[in-house]
Structures are given as structure tokens and as C-alpha cells.
Amino acid sequence: MDALCDRYGELLASGGAGNPMQSLRDWALQQPHIAEAGVGDRTMWVRFTDGRHFVFNDNWRPVAPTPQGLQALQKAAGDRAALAAAGNAEVPGNKKAVLLKHDGDDFSPEGVNSVALASKALQDRGWDVHPDHSLTVESLKQLGEIGLLYLNSHGALWGKDEENAYAVLTYTRSSEALDAQYRAELDDGTLVYNRSWSLWHQWRDREKGRPFYAVTGRFLAKYMQFSSHSLVVLMMCNAGESKSEAFRADLQRVGAATIVAWDGNSNLLGFKTVDALFDRLTGAQVLPATGPGGKPNRAFDFNDVWNYLEKSNLLINPPAEGSRPATIRRFLSGFDITNPIIKQLHVEWKDKLVLHGTFGSEPGTVSVGGTQLPVTLWNPDTIELTLPTGENDPPGSHGDVVVKVRDRTSNVRPLTSWRGEITYLAEQLPGDNGAGILHREVVLTLHVRGDAYAHRTEVDGTLQPNTFNLHAASDSKVRYVAGGSASYPASPAPTVYALRGQGDLQVVGPQDMVGGMNVMCVICRVDAVNGRMEIVPVQDVEKHYDYLINGEVFDRRADLYITDGLGFKNANGGLHSHVPLMFGTALPLGPNGSVSAYQRTIVTARFLDGRPHYQQTVTTGGLTATPALRDDVGR
């Protein structure tokens, strides 16, 4: 392969080769160890006689763009940025949530309980929930701009077929005085009278038949305004039918970004869908997880929740009281999330905390353990900040991580801190007629932080192992000692071998290992599903200690540990994020997340008679997890 490259350079330098790759192929076919060769577009390949292949290319050509080209690149970048911003999952622009229901007995107690569940779920995440849940004409008139609307009542199509008007029954009973007050709305058809047969049966004898008022889409559009990325849920019969399109269009005209509505007849069984929708959107965890994960759910975005509702058969409202079933439909696609969502955490080198999730494009705030920390990078799906670090764990170094965007808070994701000491001991045992042991020891005072909880990629889905590697905190320390002696009988005098040296190693990140001196990189992974912490210490090959023969320094040696001696080895492993670690020690995690005392000795080489020659021992008194694991964290 070197020869091919050299030959190609000669062909270019000669200036006489019209097609240097073709000429290189012709030359290659004359070489005895090359069986085949071919060319492509500025590339060439060969197959050696041992069956292996080599591809050689010269197809990288840096080009200085013209002014027109630069403008095109800038426009393309701007277009991509605009598309990315338009596609970001955003929290609704207004934090006012309005949940209104008809107060008739038809909607109790299930409706009351459903509104209470959704109200608490939203309030816990920072929403301003309108305190009055009664669906009245006056309450609708005074709402102003809102980010979330839930209407639960009777609804009906009315008017001529070409009008396709739709009206929502309120709990405002008409009177002569109110008729005079609402004369303009009654005259232009934005407010209509309405009766529900079930309510009429309940009240006709004692109320003497005065109807209720019902509002139309034009009425709602006159008095309401929806913020960006808003959500409207209409649990009413026929609000999702094609004939109700004009009603939904009125809501869309004043900013409704996504509408969920019943195509057909809704009934009390629909509250199960509404409860699941708000519980899974907010991560309220009132409804237990029904899937194989078993643990509470975190908050999820609208598409994830919608897929969950579909898989759970919650998008078909079963028929009741002789009615036909209803299909629950969604219209438009502007609503994404009720709150920012944290999916996973991991800590990179230099104490950089990275949050993965759905946060939106507008920067908010992040707190760790109740302490707000400066954000260094905010992307719609990742947030970065630097953790305060020190032996006394300053405020903000670990604990519950919470993101706040537009005054709405995310689900809680704890950042766990582990501290403890791990000793790596490598020993050389004597051979025949020898006595004594040579040993090298590294004592790691480890501080590592990360996500101790498994995660889900879908609502009620199977719990998944953590996918990110962790790096030791900057206050971790390493001490090494080399010592011991071994003597072997010889003539005229025995030979004595010894190791000598001690000192400190600097804990660094992977990028600092290349060319580093007296350094160690510590990479970890928390497997929350299998309940273990994998730890990989990687030392540089700088010579740290003396190797002596009969008291004289023979040479200097390095503390490079044999990977098999650490506990596990993955043939296809790597040290980067999202790739299993290549080797290391797997330490079991207890129920509270701490690592218990552990010791394991592995023989890495043997004499011909089978006796151990080299062995390595990993020992720890345990690693304490702070805060301890708990069961109420949504996955």
C-alpha cells in the first residue's frame, strides 16, 4: 500500500500521465502480490493475493466558492435554520390553561374527577389553571389568550347543511334579562339556544323549560385567542366530524394549533382517554404504567402520547346508551409539548452536564439540586452547563435536575453522585524456586456523576439501558505505588528483582490522553436496567517507576494494565458515547444506587505448569450514591 501511494506521487510529479489512477492500476497489475485492480472516479482498488482489498482515493478537492456560491450557501443555511426552528417542539406561548365542563349530572362524578386530575397535573408543571371550571357564557367571554383549552359538554350540528354550524352547550340558562343582554349575539347567530335531551329530562319539571345558551365557533373566535403551539381538546359529540369543519376553522383562525375532537358520540368512557392524554403529556404519574417497564412514566410529547393512545385502543370511544362509537381525531400539528421534557442526563469531562430531551428553541433556566446554574449551550434537544465541583459538594453539584421554559417546569431527573475508592493491584508471582512478589498498585479516589435511572423511548415502553458514557469529575484523584521484590537462587549469588516508585496521576479526559504524561482517563457507564456500574481506568504509557536488578536500576517501566484483568471485555466495544465500553470492571448497584464492597482477582498469565504468574485484583469498599435512588422518578 505504501508503494502504491509512492507510485501515485511519482505519476503526479511526472506530469505526463493523462489519467494517473489508470496508470497506477496498470502499474499495480505488474506487482506479484496484487491479484486484481480497478479504477473509479478518482479512486482505485486492489485485491492482494492473500484476498484482502485496498481502496485508494484522491477525490477530495477543496474549492474556493465564488461570491454567488457564498450567497447560495448562506441562503441554504438560512433556509435550513428556518426549517429547523419551524420544526422545533415548543412549549405553548401562554401558560394559561382553561378546563371547562358542563355542570349537569351527566358529567359527574367522572367529569369532575377528570378535570381535577388534569388541573393538578398542569398546575404542578407551572401552568396557570383557570380556577372556574363551569362552562358559562361569561366565563368564555373573559378568557383572553390561552395556551390550552379543554371543553367537555354536549355539542351539536345545526342549521342548513351548507352552513354546517356547530354549537357547544353552556351551563348558562337563558332568561329575559340575559336575552336582552345577549341580544346582538342571539341576533347574529353566534349565540344560540340549546337543550340536551338528557338534561331536559332532569330539569323540565322544576325549571319550567328555559333553555341553555350554546356558543358557536364564531362566538369563541370573537372572544378567545390562542397562543402559539396551543392545544384544544373538545370532548363533545360530533366536534370532530367533517360537517364540523367550520367550527374548527373558527378556532384555528384565532390560533388553535392542534385540535383533538370526537368524530361521533362521546360519553363517560371518553374520560379515560382524556385522563391518559393529560397524565402522559405532563408526566403526572397518577395513572400507573401498564407496559412492561413497570416504573412511572416521564412526560412525553404529543406524537408519543398519541401513538400510545392508539396502541391502547383509547382513540375509539366505545358506544354507550345505544349510540355509535366515536373515533377521536386530531387536527393540525402545531402543538408539541405541555412542558419541557428531560429524557436523559450525562456528564462529560470537565464537569459538563448535558441534558437530552425536548426543550424548545427559546432558552430557559436549569436548576440542579434546587440551585439555578448558568447555561452554556441551549439547543432544542440538548442543554449544556458546567457543574460546580469540590470535595464538599457545593450547591448545584448534584440532585434533582429541572428545566423551566416560559414558566413551565419539566419532569424531574435526578443527577446522582458516586464517591468512593477503588484499588487496582497488579502482581507478578515468582517462578520455580523463587520467592517474593512484585506489585503495582493504583488507588483511584473516584467521583463520578450521572443518570442512575433507565429510560423509555415510548410511553409505557420497556425500560432501556442508559446510552451515555460518563467521565470522572475533576476532583477525582489517582495515586500509584510500585514495590515488592522477588529473589531467585543463582550461582554465585541469588538474583533479586524489585520495583520502586510512587506518585500521583492527573485525571484527564480522553482528548488529553494522547501525548499526556502521568495521566489517567476514567470512563464509566451506568446500566440502570441490569443494575451495575462499569468503570474503565485508562493510563498513559509514560514510565512511572524503576525496575531494579540486584539493587541497580535496570530500566523505567509503565503502569499499563492488562484489560482482561479488570473484569469484562467487549470485542466490539469503544470508549465513545452510545457505544458499549470495551473493557472494565462491572460493579453491582444496590437498591439505593450505591456500590457495595467488592473484590475480584483475575489471573492474566500462567506458567507452563498452570500456576498463576500474573494476576490483577480490583477492590473497593463501596461507592456511595447521593441522592439515593427512589421509585417516583418518571422514566
Q: Where would I find the beta strands (DSSP E) of 219-370?
A: 224-235, 258-263, 316-317, 326-331, 341-348, 352-358, 365-368
Distance CA 150, CA 234 (A): 6
Residue 344 confidence (pLDDT) above 60: yes
Q: What is the DSSP string of 333-388?
A: S----SS-EEEEEEEEGGGEEEEEEE--SS--EEEETTEEE-EEEE-SSEEEEE--
CATH class as words, domain 341-415: mainly beta
| Residue 279 CA: distances (Å) to CA of 151, 201, 504 | 17, 34, 52
Assigned C-alpha cell, 1: 500500500
Confidence tier at 512 by pLDDT (50, 70, 90): confident
Tell me how far apart the alpha carbons of residues 443 and 250 are, in angstroms, rounded to a whole number: 70
What whole-number distance in Å separates Cα of residue 317 and Cα of residue 336? 23
Average pLDDT over residues 258-270: 92
Domain ranges of the chain: 2-57, 96-167+218-331, 341-415, 417-626
Q: What is the mean pLDDT of the chain?
A: 87
Could you tell me the CA-to-CA distances from 174 to 133, 135, 188, 208 in Å, in that order? 19, 14, 17, 12
Confidence of residue 106 (pLDDT cuts 50, 70, 90): low
pLDDT digits (tens, 9 = 90+) for 363-421: 999 999 999 999 999 999 999 999 999 989 999 999 999 999 999 999 999 999 999 99
pLDDT score of 525 more than 70: yes
C-alpha cell of residue 415? 443527577
Please state, in angstroms and rounded to a whole number, the distance separating the CA atoms of residues 405 and 359.
7
Bridge partners (DSSP) of residue 483 are: 439
Contact between 313 and 269 (Cβ < 8 Å): no
Q: How many helices (H) and strands (E) does the chain have?
A: 12, 35
Q: pLDDT by residue (tens digit) across 450-484?
A: 999 999 999 999 999 998 999 999 999 999 999 99
DSSP-assigned letter for residue 316: E
- pTM attached to this predicted model: 0.82
Q: What pLDDT sits at residue 527?
A: 93
**Cell reading at 351:** 464537569
Pairwise CA distance, residues 83 & 437, whole Å: 66
Q: What's the pLDDT score for residue 161?
A: 55
Residue 451's nearest CA partner among 393, 536, 538, 533 is: 533
Question: Considering only CA atoms, which of 337, 418, 417, 350 is closest in space to residue 381?
Answer: 337
**What's the one-letter identity of residue 75?**
K
The region of weakest confidence among 207-211, 261-265, 387-391, 418-422 is 207-211
Q: How confident is the model over 220-258, as pLDDT tens digits?
A: 999 999 999 999 999 998 899 998 999 999 999 999 999
Q: Establish whether domains 96-167+218-331 and 341-415 are of one fold.
A: no
SS percent in the chain: helix, strand, coil, step 5: 20, 40, 40
Grid cell of 461 as nine digits: 415502553
Integer Cα distance of 16 and 440 in angstroms: 61
Instruction: Give me the pLDDT at residue 204, please.
Output: 47
The pLDDT, as a whole number, for residue 335 is 97
In this prediction, residue 16 carries a pLDDT of 52
Other beta carbons within 10 Å of 76: 10
125 CB contacts (<8 Å, ≥6 apart)?
A: 282, 283, 299, 338, 339, 408, 409, 410
pLDDT at residue 39, rounded to an integer = 73
Region 96-167+218-331: CATH code = 3.40.50
Calculate the alpha carbon distances from 169 to 154, 172, 330 in Å.
5, 9, 21
- Top mean-pLDDT range of 40-54, 133-147, 157-171, 535-549: 133-147
pLDDT value at position 409?
A: 97
